């Protein structure tokens, strides 16, 4: 593994189903993030974690949950998917959550909820 | 909360023309970062500006941070087809506790060969 990996690459999901998007980084970064990207709306922060064991809510957290059991993994769970959650999801990490820390993004997961 | 506005949303240029995207914040920023996302790809960090009035160059790309640290710009000279993509600015606030990076909505650049 080099950098950040996300799985699956893409997924079509029926509304009401539960789905977990996986994210793993091997850079030993303390901070990790989940964004969704929708046309015309840029990158919107869903949840973040500044270190293992702690998480926080971003701009659009409703309908999503996260956990950070260890440094490397930061899964994002949709408990009961709805069509408005159709989006491209990016996981990112940074060394810390300081103002000058730069973020490294994974390749993304394209999710379609029908 | 902090808002970062980016204009224009879209820009189509002929290859060889210049391109500029602007980023404006409602509050004073501590620093600003620029990212590029190629079509179908993920955002990739380009550069960071920290000082008031700072100017940095990367080949044909020139980045500026305003004197008041409320705005920034990215200028590309003589665009090439390899410049195609969406350019995002992202800023951190200067107040206590405002560490989170806020992304602008991005400017999507198309280059016509």
State the pLDDT at residue B92. 86
Instruction: For residue range A50-90, list pLDDT tens digits in order.
Output: 999 999 999 999 999 999 999 999 999 999 999 999 999 99
Q: Are B94 and B30 in contact (CB under 8 A)?
A: yes
Instruction: For residue range B34-65, list pLDDT tens digits in order.
Output: 999 999 999 999 999 999 999 999 999 999 99
Mean pLDDT score of chain A, rounded to an integer?
Answer: 95
Tokens of A32: 């990790």
User: CB of A41 within 8 Å of any CB in chain B?
Assistant: yes
DSSP string, B27-92: S-EEEEEEEEE-TTS-EEEEEEE-STT-EEEETTEEEEE-TTSSEEEEEESS--GGG-EEEEEEEE
User: CB of A9 within 8 Å of any CB in chain B?
Assistant: no
CA torsion, ordered B83, B30, A60, A76, to nearest 10 deg: 80
Instruction: For residue range B18-28, list pLDDT tens digits in order.
Output: 999 999 998 89
d(C-alpha B77, C-alpha B62), whole Å: 8
User: CB of B101 within 8 Å of any CB in chain A?
Assistant: yes
User: CB of B41 within 8 Å of any CB in chain A?
Assistant: yes
Chain A positions touching B106 (Cβ under 8 A) are 42-43
d(C-alpha B101, C-alpha B42), whole Å: 17
Chain A positions touching B92 (Cβ under 8 A) are 99-100
* Backbone φ and ψ of A84, nearest 5°: -70, -10
| DSSP β-bridge partners for residue B85 | B109
Is B42's CB within 8 Å of A48's CB?
A: no
Is A107's CB within 8 Å of B99's CB?
A: no
Task: Characterize A11-22 residue by residue with b for buried, 16 or more Cβ atoms within 10 angstroms of its Cβ, and e for exposed.
Answer: bebeeeeebebe
Work out the angle at residue A59's Cα, subtended by the Cα atoms of residues A54 and A60, and round it to the nearest 5 degrees: 95
What is the pLDDT confidence band of residue B99, given thresholds at 50, 70 and 90? low
What is the pLDDT confidence band of residue A99, given thresholds at 50, 70 and 90? confident
Cα distance from A103 to chain B (closest Cα, Å)?
Answer: 7
Tokens of B41: 């790809």
């Amino acid at each position: 593994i080099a950098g950040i990996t996300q799985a699956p690459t893409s997924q079509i999901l029926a509304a009401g189903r539960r789905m977990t998007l996986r994210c793993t980084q091997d850079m030993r970064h303390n901070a990790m993030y989940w964004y969704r990207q929708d046309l015309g709306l840029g990158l919107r922060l869903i949840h973040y974690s500044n270190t293992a064991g702690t998480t926080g809510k971003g701009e659009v957290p409703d309908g999503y949950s996260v956990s950070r059991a260890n440094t490397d993994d930061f899964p994002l769970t949709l408990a009961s998917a709805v069509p408005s959650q159709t989006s491209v999801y990016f996981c990112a990490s940074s060394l810390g959550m300081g103002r000058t820390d730069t973020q490294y993004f994974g390749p993304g997961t394209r999710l379609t909820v029908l | 909360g902090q808002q970062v506005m980016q204009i224009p949303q879209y820009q189509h240029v002929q290859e060889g023309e210049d391109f500029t995207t602007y980023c404006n914040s409602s509050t004073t920023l501590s620093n600003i970062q620029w990212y590029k996302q190629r079509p179908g790809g993920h955002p990739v960090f380009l550069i960071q500006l920290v000082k008031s009035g700072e100017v940095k160059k990367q080949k044909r790309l020139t980045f500026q941070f305003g004197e008041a640290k409320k705005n920034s710009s990215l200028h590309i000279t003589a665009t090439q087809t390899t410049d195609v993509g969406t350019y995002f600015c992202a800023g951190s606030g200067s107040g206590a506790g405002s560490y989170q990076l806020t992304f602008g909505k991005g400017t999507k650049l198309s280059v016509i060969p």
